[in-house]
Chains A and B, each alone.
Chain A
């Protein structure tokens, strides 16, 4: 491929690509995201390839392995374009039938359709699935249309048109103005206005004129994977955003700092970079505009703290990844003490959208202080696990019930934790809270990078707080005392409470420590680390008190405080629990109520999970 030398050449190439493509030609799009990989989508894709070859349909049918579609709960997923017929839980055995029936004859295979669990309605097309229906997938929706290893797919949907618009028709200041006007705020957690960050980076003094842009892809929150899915599924959208950003701030070197644990993202990003250079979207004289910019990939070493901007830059420089005080912003003095503009993957992916469709259009979406859409990873005790993109200001209830399909097994909703490990747990009374940066912070939680963990009535909030504090204790860099020692002592107290050694004054001491962390830690990891504890105390104080005063775990989770018993009226003596018990602590004759030997019981809960008659009581 010859490098493109002008905007005209790019448009000519786009026309050529589109002319070669026939929109009416059937195209099987298989989700190749990491979630579907775990379900074995690779075998499905292979089976399709073989079947298409065997039937000699290579010219009539197109096969595409794309990035994550989002509905991870029902993988492996496939969508047949152009009709957008949606099949879920596809196995290699279904492949020949799909080709013969659906692709060739156009008949729907009933058993592969998605069935709404509550109403029992079947959805034929992707847009009919309730999970997708309520979403507004502006950034994430293209994943299903693109083979991430093929730049032409991205060009076919208008890719890099924003870049050529910026390079040839806009001054850097105009670009910044446009981003400012759009109201875009950083999607990585801080929520800092992106335009303002770009502006201060552009205006910052640099003795030799060197500036950097960085893409922060060190996504470490447990249960959050939107950045990974964007990098895996649509790496060019992130690249395009970065080149535009570099042009706006006047940078010629960029870095993508990717987590080591994201091999597929690394691979797809590497391929995308190579192709972007080949086509002339990166490197010297981009699209013949005279602007030079290139990107290097840097792999993280597995430390959560390196998602913090100053720690990330220290790590990029080859130093120990620990944060520094940010009295001087990284936009003024960042990487190698040069003005540096760092944005998160999702923020970068929003940029080309804003340039293409205009700040006025973009700022209509969302709430007053938070514009646009946000991708959340909806996980935990929820029917439809997956990635959802919704406009800011949507209510939690809509996300949980309309998109997420509610809580499995008819259990009651208890709390939702937003914003990753340092976010807070919001109770049912706040379920109608509109989701945006400011409202979440006001409620004692945060937007964070967009993790959402749903909890049902079987979740112990003290145990949850302990879990997150444990994670943060290990992942704190250990530099400043409040975070390192404060979290460690908080963990001690929480462990004591969950193991029945809680004492009077513990809650107050936790609150005091939490306040200290908030006020005096060095970086944002420390200042937000007490959120899970403080928010659970705020909204679920009675549960803490039950643990401490009555030595009782109301949710039946904390092992030291519970006993498992058999309800002799409900027990049918089926013997399932007896076989499941790893300690052989359950005994009893067939068809007669069983009993549990408390001295042997290790409270693993396998009996409760295996019992179909709900005959195991936890008290």
Chain B
């Protein structure tokens, strides 16, 4: 079985046809993980027994119930779960040492929904501890490597999920995107990665990083697969008061519809000095494909872009310092001394920006700049339907390159965090390769425009098919 090249769509069809069983599929996943993961470090915990038991259960269901694939749209699909997601009975560490032995008594809403839809959890994936990072190197465990080049980072913070889907260990990886953490690993690992609109997907049971930003997304090989998963995860959850009561579209239905007359905006502030020219060239090539598909392209402006990172690095650490205050070692986990360096930095930065005498100058000021950034996007979407921009200013960088300079590491997210400030969705789609490394492109829309983003991305993917280029484990 060639799992590395399969998609959710392929696997569902093959399971239906009886080409292989769930058990065979899961055994294959576990065997791929055992062969490769020592090199990649994508997983922190494997759910071997649980996954095989579930596979047996589903194989019986398939035999006895012809309608089962309708009832469970993701039946048998192997999934890697970022370790920030609470999973009942499976150790959940958030990539940290402080809660290294936490065995949760409940499931996150998204996990419950995905399990109900038939996914099989093969394991919990590595990440920058608490979601703090852009490279995966802030994990309190061994950092994840990029399957396309093992000397390079896979992007963070959902580093393990990105690497795992990319090397064929599973077909979907869950992530969280507070400032970049789904789109950047998707960009660096040649995947489709969604940061949904804030409030589109429930945060309940996903360990909180910055509560007014956290967006619950996922990575897959293809646009169809990605849309299929969002159909399951999106929607109102009574346990998360920020989920918005707006209808969940049947996202896969619009795939294939034409995009003639679509207006694409290029934010001129994203095509500036500091953007690797190879990435610029790749994005410009991709834009030609959109023109061929009947879209028109115009330059637009997002005037406050230059201030987005500064606002982000005030508001997010402020919320982080509050959310991480609960780890006191009383109910679960160990003492606060066990926090890693990045968590300590963010707790301290947030404590500083919220502290007496500085609140107005930092937190309140940044919350006002957040309004201006949101308005920038609203103004742009009066003129165009979607925006297209590079996902990262650089190709996947070398492991160790930025670890001693937190500010440089923060700036990796410069094209990604503005959308989190505005609460709008962004979809990373593979734009091609440069120097043998994946180049990510993001398609950005107005709040709750996920259906449009998928429609636009799908036609592009059909034309280009970059997802078929698989990792070679270079420098391994």
A and B pair up: no
Residues in A lying within 8 Å of B, measured CB to CB: none
